[in-house]
Amino acid sequence: MSIRYQSTRSNAEPISSAEAILQGIAKDKGLYVPTEFPVFDKDFKELANGNYQEIALYVLKKYLGDFEESELKDAVDKAYDDKFDTPEIAPIAKKCGAYFLELYHGKTIAFKDMALSILPYLLTKAAKKLGEDKEIVILTATSGDTGKAALEGFADVPNTKIIVFYPANGVSEIQKRQMITQEGKNTYVIGLRGNFDDAQRGVKALFNDRELNEELNQNGFLFSSANSINIGRLVPQVAYYVYAYAKLLKDGEIQEGEKINFVVPTGNFGNILAAYYAKQMGLPIHKLICASNENNVLTDFIRTGAYDIQREFVVTISPSMDILISSNLERLLYEISGRDGTFVQNRMNQLDEEKRYEIPSQMREGLKDFYGEYATESETLNTIQKVYEESKYVIDTHTAVAYCVYEKYKQETKDPTKTVIVSTASPFKFTKSVANALTRDNQEEDEFRLIQVLADFAKIPIPAVLRDIGQKEILHRTECEKDEMKEVVKNILGI
């Protein structure tokens, strides 16, 4: 029997994985979760013989059993091909006493490519399986990286349109340029005058707008989501945790069964949740170390059991983690509450109304897999410099948050467990901060010229996708206010 999916907010009948992927979010506003976790039926030594594609296929088959194996294989082969600049797809660098799992070798040089290069295939195959002939409208809020990765994934995919809202002043110059130069007849990019939480809230409201959905329906459209609320994004992310473990085993870095830690620079809690899913499946993981920047809501939650968003929203140099409402935490709450949809529903309502909630003390037991800590802005910059000085290895600001938190973790716990730093972006994606951290020279303001400065200074090659970014034609200029999102979407669809 294939694993089925149910909403985190009700006890409604579970649905198939194809249905869950197509719907994106449940009608009761909950997120889809597997009704059970699959387990490994191969040992890791055996898995370690496979390449990235084989391991990804193995994981996908476990979670998406209502797809044919041939459909999943086709999706995997098309997603993880030479779009990635290394055949390893997710190489591991051993530096500074840790293993850096580089998830930024795809087209947009950030880890969102790992899932968003496969989601369009899963989604269109799901639609076909379910006999859905409406045009799929992907609606996405982005803190910078999801947007571009989703645009790349869905550009010119037949029978889809993709609409991306990004915070107009909340993403890096390079992130913005990557998005507003996006080609593809079905792509729409809008700068929202607000922050990421505004964008995410607005998009969720559109998904849940009955009237709008009805109108869409009548005009032959159907909303779906490329955000990590879509289970079709989460499942492909489980694969690289399994891959990392298998690779370390194969390289003789760890023994079979030996537990390892993962440090995950966290925003919407999607990436670290995928690691938690891997652990539930039986991957030998000791601690899941949740690294935050100064928007440290999750650090406090893990340490106290209180989730409180009544605090200043800080725009940081790791903008993809500038998030106060981490959507995927809802999926963890569901698990640690013993799969209590009513509990989750109530907490989410409370968060909406009172801007905070707490979990009962016995439930905090369920958080013991996690360790939470954060890095300040100056600690982040110092970490980039320190890692470079020690090993000539250049990391981006998000990865630096993770490594800094790892050092704090080691100091606090003295835990000798081997640890993987999940490296979520190329240093070239956040050139200004990285170049400033390394050269301590703020003279050059132009982020595009800084690409060359960074390459020359650290003697590292510029990623191919960035070589001509400064010259690319700007194709998207629309901006809008928070209360105009619905109008903008209707205009795009001509309804």
Q: Cα(290)–Cα(287) distance, rounded to whole angstroms? A: 9
Residue 270 interacts with ligand PLP (CB under 6 A): yes or no:
yes
Residue 147 interacts with ligand PLP (CB under 6 A): yes or no:
no
Q: Cα(407)–Cα(381) distance, rounded to whole angstroms? A: 14
Closest CA to 381 of 362, 395, 365, 360: 395
**Cβ-based nearer residue to ligand PLP, 22 or 288:** 288
62, 112, 148, 176: which is the annotated catalytic residue?
A: 112
Scanning 43-51, 106-114, 126-134, 366-374 for contacts with ligand PLP by CB under 6 A, the matching segment is 106-114
Scanning 53-61, 158-166, 262-270, 330-338 for contacts with ligand PLP by CB under 6 A, the matching segment is 262-270
Decide if 298 contacts 377 (C-beta within 8 A).
no
Query: Three-state secondary structure along 281-333?
Result: HCCCEEEEEEEECCCCHHHHHHHHCEEECCCCCCCCCCHHHCCCCCCCHHHHH
Q: Cα(172)–Cα(216) distance, rounded to whole angstroms? A: 33
Among 200, 266, 293, 316, binds ligand PLP (CB under 6 A): 266
Residue 267 interacts with ligand PLP (CB under 6 A): yes or no:
yes
Query: Least distance (Å) from ligand PLP to the CB of residue 8?
Result: 17
Residue 426 interacts with ligand PLP (CB under 6 A): yes or no:
no
**Cβ-based nearer residue to ligand PLP, 202 or 427:** 427
Among 170, 194, 236, 265, binds ligand PLP (CB under 6 A): 265
91 strand-pairing partners: none
Burial bucket for residue 257 (CB in 10 Å: 0-12, 13-18, 19+): exposed
Per the annotation, the verdict on 112 as an active-site residue is yes
Q: Cα(116)–Cα(106) distance, rounded to whole angstroms? A: 10
Query: Least distance (Å) from ligand PLP to the CB of residue 433?
Result: 12
**Cβ-based nearer residue to ligand PLP, 112 or 287:** 112
Query: Least distance (Å) from ligand PLP to the CB of residue 383?
Result: 15
Closest CA to 3 of 208, 180, 235: 235
Among 102, 113, 145, 407, binds ligand PLP (CB under 6 A): 145
Burial bucket for residue 270 (CB in 10 Å: 0-12, 13-18, 19+): buried
**Cβ-based nearer residue to ligand PLP, 116 or 249:** 116
Q: Cα(255)–Cα(345) distance, rounded to whole angstroms? A: 42
C-alpha torsion sign, points 314, 317, 297, 330: positive
Binding mask 292-321 for ligand PLP (x = CB under 6 A): ----------------------------xx
Nearest 5°: the CA angle 378, 379, 384 is: 100
Among 227, 271, 293, 337, binds ligand PLP (CB under 6 A): 271
Among 112, 148, 161, 287, binds ligand PLP (CB under 6 A): 112
Closest CA to 403 of 356, 394, 492: 394
Q: Cα(117)–Cα(76) distance, rounded to whole angstroms? A: 9
Query: Least distance (Å) from ligand PLP to the CB of residue 7?
Result: 20
Q: Cα(485)–Cα(169) distance, rounded to whole angstroms? A: 17
Decide if 399 contacts 104 (C-beta within 8 A).
no
Residue 106 interacts with ligand PLP (CB under 6 A): yes or no:
no
**Cβ-based nearer residue to ligand PLP, 71 or 294:** 294
**Cβ-based nearer residue to ligand PLP, 288 or 488:** 288
Q: Cα(450)–Cα(232) distance, rounded to whole angstroms? A: 36
Among 176, 177, 398, 432, binds ligand PLP (CB under 6 A): 398
User: The tokens 């907490």 sit on which residue?
Assistant: 347
Scanning 117-125, 177-185, 266-274, 487-495 for contacts with ligand PLP by CB under 6 A, the matching segment is 266-274
Site size for ligand PLP, by CB under 6 A? 17
**Cβ-based nearer residue to ligand PLP, 145 or 379:** 145
**Cβ-based nearer residue to ligand PLP, 32 or 67:** 32
Query: Least distance (Å) from ligand PLP to the CB of residue 119?
Result: 14
Query: Least distance (Å) from ligand PLP to the CB of residue 251?
Result: 25
DSSP 153-199: HHTT-TTEEEEEEEETTSS-HHHHHHHHT---TTEEEEEESS-HHHH
Scanning 130-138, 176-184, 216-224, 260-268 for contacts with ligand PLP by CB under 6 A, the matching segment is 260-268
Closest CA to 333 of 362, 290, 370, 366: 366
Gyration radius from the chain CA atoms: 21
| Residue 371: half-sphere exposure toward Cβ, Cα within 13 Å | 19
Q: Cα(150)–Cα(203) distance, rounded to whole angstroms? A: 15
Binding mask 155-194 for ligand PLP (x = CB under 6 A): ----------------------------------------
Residue 228 interacts with ligand PLP (CB under 6 A): yes or no:
yes
DSSP assignment letter at 323: -
Residue 331 interacts with ligand PLP (CB under 6 A): yes or no:
no
Query: Least distance (Å) from ligand PLP to the CB of residue 111?
Result: 6
**Cβ-based nearer residue to ligand PLP, 53 or 142:** 142
**Cβ-based nearer residue to ligand PLP, 67 or 111:** 111
Decide if 258 contacts 62 (C-beta within 8 A).
no
The site for ligand PLP (CB under 6 A) is made up of 110-112, 145, 228, 265-271, 320-321, 398, 424-425
Looking at the annotation, which residues are catalytic?
A: 112
